[in-house]
């Protein structure tokens, strides 16, 4: 079963997360009070609806508690962001990521139980979406529109294989530029380097190739 996401607030930040999740082929409901913004995402998200998420009855009617992950990306209205988060917690939403606009906002969100708090000034929407999707990805740095550096945790499927055994460069067009093992960092690892479970692989390549690698070798 694919995870289902809801994005509340379709400004630049929320919009970028909505697009990134949708591009991964995931089910996304886009929600905003502005009908023009909702119309803009009608062909991007699986569902796009106009709604006031500070109204508990609206969230209940959307079946919000059934979503695996809700991202609250409401813009400058801190009160609406806090109230929406509070209602989501009370309704039992499993995983809530909230955009904070300042340190005070972050403190309040932390106290009311937001699972993740992000500052869009520091984190790109695409990067955060990637971390939300994958349990194996620790960090994600966008080099360009199409290329990235990603930190991936090696799982059982990779354990005991050498880099040459996996033939990653030939099969996926990506390169392992370094490995972290406990406190040690192996830069430009040799082809015969054996990968162990929980090693952190620092991989560079095209986003499409990195995604193929994740899905084929790291998929659940």
198-212 per-position pLDDT tens digit: 998 888 888 888 888
Residue whose C-alpha is closest to residue 66's, from 27, 16, 111, 24: 27
Percent of the chain at pLDDT > 70 equals 87
Quote the mean pLDDT of the chain: 86
Indicate the pTM of the whole model. Answer: 0.64
Query: Which band of pLDDT confidence, cut at 50, 70 and 90, is reported for residue 177?
Result: confident
Model pLDDT, residue 208: 86
Query: Which band of pLDDT confidence, cut at 50, 70 and 90, is reported for residue 131?
Result: low
Model pLDDT, residue 147: 77
In 3-state terms, what secondary structure has residue 177? Answer: strand
Residues 165-177 have a mean pLDDT of: 88
**Which residue ranges form the domains of the chain, and what is each CATH number?**
4-118 (3.40.50.720), 123-218 (3.30.70.1450)
Which phi and psi (to 5°) does residue 162 adopt? -85, 165
Residues 74-80 have a mean pLDDT of: 90
- The distance of Cα 208 from the centroid of its chain, to the nearest Å, equals 16
Query: Which band of pLDDT confidence, cut at 50, 70 and 90, is reported for residue 146?
Result: confident
Cα–Cα distance, 125 to 120 (Å, whole number): 7
* H-helix or E-strand spanning residue 5: strand 4-8
Instruction: Out of 95-104, 135-144, 175-184, give the one with best mean pLDDT.
Output: 95-104
Model pLDDT, residue 137: 56
pLDDT tens digits, one per residue of 22-56: 887 889 999 999 999 999 999 999 999 999 999 99
Does position 218 have pLDDT exceeding 70, yes or no? no
Does position 178 have pLDDT exceeding 90, yes or no? no
Model pLDDT, residue 25: 84
Range name among 3-17, 69-83, 128-142, 153-167 with the lowest pLDDT average: 128-142
In 3-state terms, what secondary structure has residue 152? Answer: strand
């Amino acid at each position: 079963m694919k995870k289902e996401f809801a994005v509340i607030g379709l400004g630049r930040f929320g919009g970028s997360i909505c697009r990134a999740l949708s591009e991964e082929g995931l089910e996304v409901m886009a929600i905003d009070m502005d009908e023009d913004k909702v119309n803009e995402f009608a062909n991007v998200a699986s569902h796009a609806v106009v709604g006031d998420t500070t109204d508990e009855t609206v969230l209940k009617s959307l079946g919000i508690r059934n979503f695996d992950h809700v991202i609250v990306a409401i813009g400058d209205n801190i009160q609406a962001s806090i109230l929406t988060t509070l209602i989501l917690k009370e309704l039992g939403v499993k995983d809530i990521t909230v955009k904070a606009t300042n340190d005070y906002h972050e403190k309040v969100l932390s106290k009311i139980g937001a699972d993740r708090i992000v500052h869009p000034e520091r984190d790109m929407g695409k990067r955060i979406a990637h971390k939300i999707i994958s349990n194996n990805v620790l960090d994600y740095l966008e080099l360009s529109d199409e290329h990235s550096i990603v930190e991936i945790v090696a799982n059982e499927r990779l354990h005991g294989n050498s880099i040459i055994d996996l033939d990653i460069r030939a099969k996926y067009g990506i390169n392992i530029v370094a490995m972290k093992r406990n406190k040690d960092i192996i830069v430009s690892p040799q082809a015969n380097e054996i990968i162990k479970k929980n090693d952190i692989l620092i991989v560079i390549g095209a986003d499409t190739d990195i995604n193929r690698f994740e899905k084929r070798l790291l998929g659940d």
